[in-house]
Each structure stands twice: as structure tokens, then as C-alpha cells.
Amino acid sequence: MRALVQRVSEAAVRVDGETLGEIGPGLLILVCAMQGDSEAEAEALAAKIAKLRVFKDEAGKMNLALKDTGGAALVVSQFTLAADTSRGNRPGFSTAAAPAEGERLYEYFSERMRGEGIETAMGRFGADMKVSLVNDGPVTIWLEV
């Protein structure tokens, strides 16, 4: 699985004007299941993100994890993280998991984030979502397991 993780002051996701999920301080997690991914990758990615030390401690160093701060996660499915531009200018997405499997693993990943003790909001798989955020730092990290 792939994820683009952004430390945020706030973030929200909307579909057709309806707010599906919103958080205050925490992490916006754009996530993509790849072909061959299973629950094991979703679990490993959730555990890694929950423990990722990207929040400032009292000395101002990035030394605290989401679990330490009590922050929340907003998880948004984004199959475009599988983009392959090696053969031209139009991205290909053939390495992404099939839609049904991608949705299942997206849901499972979000469950695992909750299982890590993280308050987790979600977007809607496959929807045309409008995501807004205030990137804190900015801090943006690419992860792949």
C-alpha cells in the first residue's frame, strides 16, 4: 500500500457539498491499495503511520507520534498514487488494486487506524471528493509498505 501523509492543522472531505469527514490537528492520509496488497500491508501501514514521529515535542523537535498527541486522522482513498508516467505524459494506473479490492483494503486500513487508538474520519471510495486542508509545517511524507 502507498500513502501520502500530511500533518495538518485541519482537514475536511466533501462530496456533493456534504461534509463526510473532518478533523482538527492530525494527519490527512491519502491511501492507495496496490495489486497484490493484502490485510498484512494495510496493518503494517496503519501501525507505521500511527507511530510516525512527525509532531513537535516541547523542545520543538519532530519527536511525537499521532498516538502521543491525541490527534485524528482523515483517510481518503486516492488510486492516483499508483500513477505510472514512465511511458509518456498520460498516467497509467494498472498497478493499483482492482476497485473492489481497493475499497475493501481502504476500509480495512481505516479500521486498523481506529484499532491503533486513532480517531479516524473517512472520505467515500470512488467518489469525486473535494479535500481541503491546512498543511502544518508543511510536513508531507510518502510511505509504501
Which residues participate in catalysis according to the annotation? 78-80
- Helices 99-115 and 39-51: crossing angle, nearest 10°? 40
DSSP three-state, residue 133: strand
CA dist., res. 10 & res. 26, Å (int) = 7
Secondary element (H or E) of residue 89:
none
Per-residue exposure over 30-60, b if at least 16 CB sit within 10 Å of its own CB, e if not = bbbbbeebeeebbbebbeebbebebbbeeee
Residue 86 CB coordination number (10 Å):
7
